[in-house]
Amino acid sequence: MSFLQERDNIVRWTNLVDIFCGLTFYPLEHIAWARDKKLLHGKSDKLWDWSLYCWIGSLIACIVRDVWLLRKLHQQEKSKQLSRSEFFLTLHVTNLVAMFTFLCDHQGKLNYQMF
């Protein structure tokens, strides 16, 4: 589902913030790394700070989105729109996706910092 098709404004805007932060994070981090390795001229301090702010922004947007979706799922389960098994299945899938995303982010960061 694309950004314009998403009906929930909170999901739409947190996805947009996540995408923007992700697209901004990587170039900033790569330029900062290149400056640290003296491949590019200039100081890297501010770039590292801004890349960290982008990563934190992405993380916060994902947490807000996931908490919002879990809250909606819980409300649907309370109103019996979902059966109990459907609720827990959806909850587990959401948690697995969130954990996978988190681990991929950290794995990439660990691999990148080794160089």
Indicate if the pLDDT at residue 1 is higher than 60.
no
pLDDT at res. 29: 94
2 part of a folded domain: no
What is the chain's mean pLDDT, rounded? Answer: 80
Q: Which domain holds residue 72?
A: 9-113
pLDDT at res. 83: 63
Residue 29: both structure tokens together: 């981090």
Give the Cα separation of 114 and 107 in Å (integer): 11
Q: Which residue did the predictor score with more confidence, 42 or 72?
A: 42
Q: Which residue did the predictor score with more confidence, 105 or 27?
A: 27
pLDDT at res. 106: 53
21 part of a folded domain: yes
37 part of a folded domain: yes
